[in-house]
Amino acid sequence: MPIAQFDGALAVVTGAGSGFGRATTLALAERGATVVAADIDLESAERTVVLAKALGASGAAYQVDVADAGAMESFAAQVRSVHRVPDIVVNNAGIAVAGPFLDTGLQDWERIVGVNLWGVIHGSRLFGRQMVERVGSLPTKPDRPNKGGHIVNIASAAGFTPSRELPAYCTTKAAVVMLSECLRAELAASRIGVTAVCPGFASTNIARNATYVGVSEREQARLRERGQRALQLRRYPPEKVAERIVEAIVKNKPLVPVNFESHLLHAISRVSPASLRLLARIPAPLR
């Protein structure tokens, strides 16, 4: 069951200090939600909350590493204790690792899987259980059925687009898409919606903060700045992605490609996956 009215809702957003996370937090705050902004960078999360309060919303900032199971358990318990069970959870925190599979070390894999996949698993498992328990503890009224809530998992167009240059990133995002589909089926009976949102290129700092494997530190710095310039040239602001996230919650959509290239790649992945396999062999121009 979608959360059609945000006024009075409690929304938890991870990776809320910048990019999609900040834009989504503010979009929900603007519509009347109380927001819990979580980020590994506490100062960034606090700045997001300041902006949310300027919109007239209530909010709180928390520091948490979504890859840390213990930290996420403490965070979820604190949200429930200090606030209440959230109505909306947006598992947004994510990082990028670029470069060939054979150059990607175990530490690189552990970090990206920890943030991009385990972070989504922790957020969905911990807050999803809270939502299910809340539904079971409330009396059901025929005219007003209990709304369990909504979980949004930020994946990527990379989740259905193979790439020789992004094997680690594509793998984690594909896993998020499938996890969301499985979770949606399981939680439907508790009236909890689950959506996988798949943005294409957008103006965030993910390229500037990316790890490029198999190259020197100097080359990494060059590739980061080049990738960042390319994303800025796309001129697709995170606020547009946030609008699609809000729409997905209201309409309870299962999968949401965002912007032209994501829609195109998703369509090709369904109609002609062999074409994407051929495209995956082309070296990335940013190298």
pLDDT above 90 coverage of the chain, percent: 89
27, HSE (Cβ side, Cα atoms, 13 Å) = 23
Q: What is the pLDDT of residues 124-146, one digit of tens each?
A: 999 999 999 999 865 555 444 45
Position 284 scores a pLDDT of 61
Closest alpha carbon to 31 in 270, 284, 267, 247: 247
212 counts as catalytic: no
The residue annotated as part of the active site, out of 62, 169, 212, 236, is 169
Radius of gyration, CA atoms only, the chain: 19
pLDDT surpasses 80 at 6: yes
Record: fold of 10-138+145-200+243-279: Rossmann fold (3.40.50)
**Domain definitions of the chain by residue range:** 10-138+145-200+243-279
- Single out the residue of 3, 12, 9, 33 nearest to residue 76, CA to CA: 12
* pLDDT band of 1, cuts 50, 70, 90: very low
Helices (H), ranges, the chain:
19-30, 42-54, 69-82, 106-112, 119-137, 167-187, 217-234, 238-251, 260-271, 273-279
Nearest residue to 163 (alpha-carbon basis) of 31, 276, 6: 276
pTM above 0.85, yes or no: yes
- Map residue 7 onto helix, strand or coil: coil
Task: Give the distance, in angstroms, between the CA of residue 76 and the centroid of all CA atoms in the same chain.
Answer: 17
Could you read off the pLDDT of 164-219 as tens digits, one per residue? 999 999 999 999 999 999 999 999 999 999 999 999 999 999 999 999 999 999 99
- Residue 92 is which amino acid? N
